[in-house]
Structure 1
Amino acid sequence: MYCVKNIKDDLFWVGGSDRRLALFENAYPIPNGISYNSYLLLDEKTVLFDTVDRAITGQFFENVESVLAGRTLDYVIINHMEPDHCATLGELIRRYPDVSVVCNAKTIPIIKQFYEFDIDTRAVIVKENDTFCSGRHTFTFLMAPMVHWPEVMVTYDTTDKILFSADAFGTFGAMNGNLFADELYFERDWLADARRYYTNIVGKYGASVQTLLKKAAALDIEILCPLHGPVWRSDIAWYVDKYLTWSSYEPEEKAVMIAYGSIYGNTENAANILACRLADRGVKNIVMYDVSSTHPSTIISEAFRCSHLVFASATYNGGIFSCMEHVLLDLKAHNLQNRTVALLENGSWGVTAGRKMGEIISEMKNMTILDETITIKSSLKEDQMAELGALANLIVASMN
């Protein structure tokens, strides 16, 4: 049976959620599931905004058919061609053979890469600031390349002031009946997943996101309809401000994250003592992560949130402990910048982790590495406690 949600009198959410999927993009853990949002407008012409992932095919088509109630589908607007939003496009064409596909020129070759139906005869090609009228509603299209594929665009309904924002403003998490962000404890229950979604999926492309945000700033947006997560109809400026911060690579908070890679517990012990010394000096809400048991996506998200980062690693095979190296390379790949970093290394012989961590971090933009790298030989000694205190002092001083 269908499960639809009414957004406006003539606009319906016809998406669905997947709580069985363990890894989004086969990479990111989603313990709270994921939603795939699609929207259907009943105007003089019927218009579908994007489709969904193959996992919810049955639910999606039941929703669409129930809203159409016997009408045909006239148009589908493709804002983003990634399969989690377009895996059911081929089936849609089969069911509604006369439907026209509204998209930009960059979308056409990607459609041809995924599908063999004749797109050329049914495509309505749009470009920046083109308009499209479905009857009562008029839409404007804004290109948003690399947010986060090159063909991405967003669609603005000038009639009802709704922005269909593609992957922008999305979040991990399945919908649980409540569709609107103001029906949820969003900051408490959803913000961490929203941040992890942004930083890992779109975080590399901050400059592209900034370009889109400048375009969006010129619009009067009353409703924000992303392709994942809740729909926004209030406090939109608060959420947009988060995107402004994340996409500018400025820290969200003055805070310290400690990530450690420890084999037998000695590096972890030093990290714990450093955390205590920081707390003694008034630092609050310190977070610590074991890189062997914490997924890198969480550490990336927290690195975007925090102003100060500590990386503590054992030396392994003459280099950085492998899980820590993975995290650092991921941070570099996601374009992290503008952070203050402290390093702690350990090893029983040939200690190299600190130098090699510093080399990776130095390749990132505008990263300040504090001078006091602490070197442990196998285990922390009593006479090194003062070094940890001095490093804590340096971190605290750089936070003020």
Structure 2
Amino acid sequence: MDPRSETALDEIADGIYRISTPAPAIPGGFSFNQYLVADDEPLLFHTGLCRMFPAVRAAIARVLPIERLRFVAFSHLEQDECGALNELLAAAPRAEAVCSRIGAMTSVGDLALRPPRPLGDGERLKLGRHEVMWWDAPHVPHGWDCGFLSELTTRTLFCGDLFTQPGVSPAALVEGDILGPSEALRAKLDYYAHAPATRATLERLAGAAPGTLACMHGAAWRGDGAKLLRSLADAVAGT
């Protein structure tokens, strides 16, 4: 498959675009999503796998020149999260990798072409009319270096591997059930770390009252994000 012919681009919130490449070869189907915040200082959340870089690059170019990218952020060190990091940094000379302080210390400071921009819990980046804030989330769902970004003006939470849905969704943004499919997949793969602070971390995220959840795999979701995050906390606590 040539992913460049399959990758979809959809605006899921004001100035925020979901870039989604299907992976039908994975049993049951799967998708890999990145999110582009188009602004004065554009930000990309997730890079995709290294081999997906041509598709991601082409999708970004439909919104803005890739050279304008200012920040390349991701939740934690994993190939689908940051596999194409250096390709993006090479294509965008002003871009900085954005990650947690733990991530910068343990891995990104060594593997990135340029020194990263580590963010502490609650630290913000002004992109223009958008502003993002970092949430430390160690081991939720996995990875000591794990964290998330929320975009404050649209109340969009870039929630990484939370609510990972199998299959290839024909819709970029849904309002129906995503917890059921994601929990069914988690029951098969058990990719959560089951850390002691999982409920407290999810409760903190719920306190931000997100209206859009930008999921890394499957459709993005719109609705009462606080309620859904608390339902996820209940489900994880019950396993």
Shorter-normalised TM-score: what interval? 0.7 to 0.9
1:99 to 95, 101, 104: 95
- Is 2:229 the counterpart of 1:234? no
Inter-partner Cα distance in structure 1 for 2:89 and 2:65: 18
Residue 71 of structure 1 deviates from its aligned partner by 5.6
Describe how 1:298-309 pairs up with structure 2 within 5 A: none
Describe how 1:69-148 pairs up with structure 2 within 5 A: 69=65, 72-108=68-104, 109-111=106-108, 115=111, 117-120=112-115, 123-147=116-140, 148=142
The DSSP-based 3-state class of the residue aligned with 1:92 is helix
User: Which one-letter code corresponds to 1:167 in the other structure?
Assistant: D
User: Which one-letter code corresponds to 1:198 in the other structure?
Assistant: R
Is the contact made by 2:210 and 2:224 (CA closer than 8 Å) also made in structure 1?
A: no
Identity value in percent: 21
2:15 to 7, 10, 15: 10
Listed one character per residue, the Cα deviations across residues 353-396 of structure 1 (whole Å, up to 9, x for unaligned) are: xxxxxxxxxxxxxxxxxxxxxxxxxxxxxxxxxxxxxxxxxxxx
TM, length-normalised to structure 1? 0.53
Residue 238 of structure 1 deviates from its aligned partner by 5.4
Describe how 1:1-400 pairs up with structure 2 within 5 A: 1=5, 3-21=8-26, 31-69=27-65, 72-108=68-104, 109-111=106-108, 115=111, 117-120=112-115, 123-147=116-140, 148-176=142-170, 178-182=171-175, 186=177, 191-192=180-181, 194-199=182-187, 200-237=189-226, 239-249=228-238, 336=239
User: Is the radius of gyration larger for structure 1 or structure 2?
Assistant: 1
Inter-partner Cα distance in structure 1 for 2:211 and 2:147: 19
Is the contact made by 2:208 and 2:226 (CA closer than 8 Å) also made in structure 1?
A: no
Structure 1: 5+ residue stretches without partners: 22-30, 250-335, 337-400
Residue 174 of structure 1 deviates from its aligned partner by 2.1
The higher-RCO structure (CA 8 Å, 6+ apart) is 2
CA RMSD, Structure 1 to Structure 2 (Å): 2.3
Inter-partner Cα distance in structure 1 for 2:22 and 2:90: 23
Residue 118 of structure 1 deviates from its aligned partner by 3.5
Listed one character per residue, the Cα deviations across residues 309-361 of structure 1 (whole Å, up to 9, x for unaligned) are: xxxxxxxxxxxxxxxxxxxxxxxxxxx5xxxxxxxxxxxxxxxxxxxxxxxxx
Inter-partner Cα distance in structure 2 for 1:191 and 1:247: 12
Residue 224 of structure 1 deviates from its aligned partner by 0.8
Inter-partner Cα distance in structure 2 for 1:206 and 1:222: 26
Is the contact made by 1:206 and 1:247 (CA closer than 8 Å) also made in structure 2?
A: no
Inter-partner Cα distance in structure 1 for 2:67 and 2:53: 20
Q: Which residue in the other structure is 1:279 paired with?
A: none
Inter-partner Cα distance in structure 1 for 2:222 and 2:124: 23
Structure 2: 5+ residue stretches without partners: none
Residue 4 of structure 1 deviates from its aligned partner by 0.5
TM, length-normalised to structure 2? 0.86
Instruction: Count the aligned residue pairs.
Output: 231
